[in-house]
Structure 1
Amino acid sequence: MVRRAKINLNRLGNKTDLLLKFNYASSILSFVLGVICTFFINVEGTIPFIFFWYTGLNLLNVLLFKYHRNLTVMAIFTSILSWVSTVVISLFSGGIESPFIFVLAIIVLAGYVSTRLFGKVYMYVILSSILIIFFLGHFYPEHFRTEIPIASKEIFSLISLLFAVYLLGYIFGKNLLETHRSLFLSKEEIEIKIKEKENLLSEVHHRVKNNLQTVSSLLNLQSRNTKNGKVKELTKSSQNRVLSMAIIHEMLYLKQNISKIDFRSYVQGLTDYLIKSANADKKNIEVQIDIPDIQLGIDTAIPLGLLINEAFTNSIKYAFNETNKGLVDIELKRTDNPEEYKLRISDNGTGFTKQVNIKKAKSLGLKLIHNLARQLHGSARRLNTGHGTGYEVIFKDVQKH
Structure 2
Amino acid sequence: MEENKKLEERLRDKARLVLRVNYFTSAFSLVFACICLFLLDITEVIPFVFLGFGILNLINTILYYYHKNLTITYNVVSIMTLAGASVITLYSGGINSPFIFVLAIIVIAGYVTTKSYGSLYLNLCLLIIVLIYSQSIADFSFATNVVPEKSKNIFALLSVLFSVYLLGGVFGKNLLSAHHNLYKTKGELERKINEKETLLKEVHHRVKNNLQTVSSLLSLQARNVSDKDTKSLLKSSQNRVISMAMVHEMLYMREDISKIGYKSYVQELAEYLVRSIKGTSSNITLDIDIPDVKLNIDTAIPLGLLINEAVTNALKYGIVDDSQGHIFIKLRKGEYDEYLLNIGDTGVGYSETINHKTTQSLGLKLIHNLARQLRGSIVRDITRKGTHYIVKFKEIKPQVPPMVQPA
SS state at 2:79 partner: helix
Shift of 1:33: 2.2
Partners of 1:46 and 1:75 in 2: CA distance: 25
Identity %: 51
Please name the residue that 2:354 is paired with.
Answer: 356
Shift of 1:35: 2.9
Please name the residue that 2:366 is paired with.
Answer: 368
For residue 100 of structure 2, what is the amino acid of its counterpart?
I
Give the CA RMSD over aligned residues: 2.0
Please name the residue that 2:386 is paired with.
Answer: 388
CA gap of 1:26–1:386, structure 2 versus 1, over 3 A, is closer
CA gap of 1:342–1:144, structure 2 versus 1, over 3 A, is closer
CA gap of 1:129–1:89, structure 2 versus 1, over 3 A, is same
SS state at 1:256 partner: coil
Please name the residue that 1:344 is paired with.
Answer: 342
Please name the residue that 2:222 is paired with.
Answer: 223
Partners of 1:81 and 1:338 in 2: CA distance: 53
Partners of 1:346 and 1:330 in 2: CA distance: 7
- CA deviation map 1:73-131 (0-9, x unaligned): 21122112211211121111111111111111212233456665555443333322222
Give the length in aligned residue pairs.
399
SS state at 2:43 partner: coil
Please name the residue that 2:376 is paired with.
Answer: 378
Shift of 1:399: 2.2
Please name the residue that 2:396 is paired with.
Answer: 398
Please name the residue that 2:235 is paired with.
Answer: 236
Please name the residue that 1:124 is paired with.
Answer: 123
Partners of 2:204 and 2:226 in 1: CA distance: 35
- CA deviation map 1:40-94 (0-9, x unaligned): 3322222222222222221122122222222122112211221121112111111
Unaligned segments of structure 1, at least 5 residues: none
Shift of 1:333: 1.2
More deviation in 16-25 or 170-179?
170-179
Matched, 1:31 2:58: no
- CA deviation map 1:20-55 (0-9, x unaligned): 111111122223322332333322222222222222
Matched, 1:62 2:61: yes
SS state at 2:397 partner: helix
Partners of 1:82 and 1:281 in 2: CA distance: 84
Shift of 1:277: 0.9
More deviation in 126-135 or 312-321?
126-135
- CA deviation map 1:306-350 (0-9, x unaligned): 011111011111222254332111111123x33221211221222
SS state at 1:358 partner: coil
Q: Say if 1:31 and 1:52, in contact at 8 Å, map to a contact too.
A: yes
For residue 356 of structure 1, what is the amino acid of its counterpart?
I
Partners of 2:185 and 2:283 in 1: CA distance: 58
Partners of 1:379 and 1:17 in 2: CA distance: 58
Partners of 2:79 and 2:305 in 1: CA distance: 67
For residue 240 of structure 1, what is the amino acid of its counterpart?
N
Partners of 2:121 and 2:321 in 1: CA distance: 85
Note the 1:1-400 alignment, pairs <5 A.
Answer: 2-111=1-110, 117-141=116-140, 143-280=142-279, 283-321=282-320, 323-335=322-334, 337-352=335-350, 355-399=353-397
More deviation in 346-355 or 250-259?
346-355
Shift of 1:260: 0.5
Q: Say if 1:71 and 1:114, in contact at 8 Å, map to a contact too.
A: no
Q: Say if 1:19 and 1:113, in contact at 8 Å, map to a contact too.
A: no
For residue 47 of structure 2, what is the amino acid of its counterpart?
P
More deviation in 284-293 or 208-217?
284-293
More deviation in 340-349 or 265-274?
340-349
SS state at 1:179 partner: helix
For residue 209 of structure 2, what is the amino acid of its counterpart?
N
Shift of 1:291: 0.7
Q: Say if 2:42 and 2:148, in contact at 8 Å, map to a contact too.
A: yes
SS state at 1:289 partner: strand
SS state at 1:264 partner: helix
Q: Say if 1:208 and 1:246, in contact at 8 Å, map to a contact too.
A: yes
Partners of 2:143 and 2:340 in 1: CA distance: 79
SS state at 2:342 partner: strand
Partners of 1:166 and 1:140 in 2: CA distance: 36
Q: Say if 2:283 and 2:322, in contact at 8 Å, map to a contact too.
A: no
Q: Say if 1:378 and 1:393, in contact at 8 Å, map to a contact too.
A: yes
Please name the residue that 2:402 is paired with.
Answer: none
Shift of 1:217: 0.7
